[in-house]
Amino acid sequence: MKKKMLKNNVTVFIACLALFNIATGCSKSASNVNTEVSNATTETTRNGNNKDGQSGTNPLPSPSAMPTPDASPKTVQVRLTEVETNADIIDSPLPDSLINLKSGDSSSNKKTNKDGVVVFDAVPCGNDVVITAHDVENDEDVVLKSRLECKGTQVDLGVLTRPFGGKFILEQRKPQAMGYDAIKEIWQTMDGKRVPDQEVERILRRYNYGSN
């Protein structure tokens, strides 16, 4: 009877020991799994951070700077006076005369008014301009160049003149209107002011035209 009970107790002990080992093994397995998950999470977090300790989230690329558009070229208003210089009235206006003004890619055609004046708007400055005038007497185009500086709002290119029936030339000066009074034997402006003989000689010599 005692042997049977001892045998039964041993059997129960073995069963309990087996259950204990199984429980312990499961606990260890679960612990290992939790440890691996924890290690994997830690490794992921570490890999997500860069070497400088900054957040692993890649910063959004900064938008590329938009190119600044080139500033529009500066422009000025251009004034030009076309005249015919002769012995009676030094600068006689040439009205209704077609003139072309070209500056870079800009080109414009205009006619002179009754005073021989033509004005071109919004002409690109800071470069050479090309002036083309038609010589009616010789039925030909005359091409001249002038430097157009960016000064003020209007630039006066001067006088485009055809002295004494010759070729057109461009002079950086104001128009001069004067005539000879045969009775008084003097040169005077159109408003009656006398012009010194020395000034008359200088003007006439400029065009290789004698005063006698």
- Percentage with pLDDT > 70 across the chain: 63
- pLDDT 10s digits, 62-84: 555 565 555 677 999 999 999 98
Contacts of 72 (CB under 8 A, 6+ apart): none
Cα 116 from Cα 95, distance rounded (Å): 5
The pTM of the full predicted model, rounded to 2 decimals, is 0.59
Cα 150 from Cα 113, distance rounded (Å): 25
- pLDDT 10s digits, 16-46: 455 444 445 444 444 554 555 445 454 544 5
